[in-house]
Amino acid sequence: MALCLTLLAAGAACRKSSPSGAPPDAAPEAPARATLQQLKGPVSVKRAAADDWTVAREGMALLENDTVRTGTSASALLRFPNGSSVLVGEDALIGIAETRGAPGRDRTDLTVRRGTVDATLDRPATQDLSVGTPSATVRAGREIVFQ
């Protein structure tokens, strides 16, 4: 029995330490960059170190360099820790706080590679959000309140 428990514990540890095999809804060790909510239709997530896409789940924490993909007629709401939110529309492909941005560009909270996102900052005086795309960087909120 003790041997069985030891083997089970070792197996669990192996799964947890495996970068590509980590379940997408497992408690992440790194701080969450955003949370997935209000999922509708086919939405999938690819972890930074994973090779495969997995089905997204309500409340799933998204980490740095994770990617989210929505299918036809699908949508998902990304809630950021500062309270700002982004509604990802259908047929979109986005990255979370990617460190591999375009050369010479600052890191952004979100990268939109394809599709449309609708962003909301309820308190722009205290919140900020930066969105990168293949051709531009969009900044909103606290950083650009000039006065």
Partner 1 sequence: MSPLALVLVLLGTAPADEAVVQPGETLADVARRMLGSSEAASELRAINHLDSDRVSPGTHLLLPGPERNRAVSAIASAKSAVRQAKAGAARTEASERLADAERSLAAARYGEAAAQADGAWKLVSQRPDDPSRFAVQVGDDGATRVRVDSGVPVRVEAEGRTRAVSPGESVLVRRGEAPGVPTPEGAAVATAALEAPVLLSPAADVRLALDPKGKGVGPLRLAWRPVSGARGYLVELKGTASQTVRTARAEVSLPAMPTGAYRWSVRAIGLEGALGPASERALELSTSTIRLDVQEPSWK
- The Cα 124–Cα 141 span in angstroms is 4
Smallest separation, CB 52 to partner 1 (Å): 24
Hey, how many other C-beta atoms are within 10 angstroms of the C-beta on 59? 11
Q: What DSSP state is assigned to residue 87?
A: E
Q: Which is nearer to partner 1, 15 or 114 (CB)?
A: 114
Q: Which is nearer to partner 1, 66 or 109 (CB)?
A: 109
Site for partner 1 in 82-141 (CB under 8 A): 112-125, 131, 133-141
**∠ CA 89-54-78, rounded to 5°:** 35
Smallest separation, CB 66 to partner 1 (Å): 18
User: Six-digit token pair at 17?
Assistant: 């330490």
Smallest separation, CB 124 to partner 1 (Å): 4
Site for partner 1 in 5-44 (CB under 8 A): none
Q: Which is nearer to partner 1, 17 or 147 (CB)?
A: 147
Smallest separation, CB 12 to partner 1 (Å): 40
Sheet with 61-62: strands ordered across? 61-62, 34-40, 75-79, 85-88
Q: Which is nearer to partner 1, 50 or 138 (CB)?
A: 138
Q: Which is nearer to partner 1, 24 or 86 (CB)?
A: 86
User: Residues binding partner 1: what is the number (CB under 8 A)?
Assistant: 29
Smallest separation, CB 101 to partner 1 (Å): 12
**Which is nearest to 51 in space by CA: 12, 24, 90?**
24
**Which is nearest to 114 in space by CA: 67, 63, 79, 78?**
67
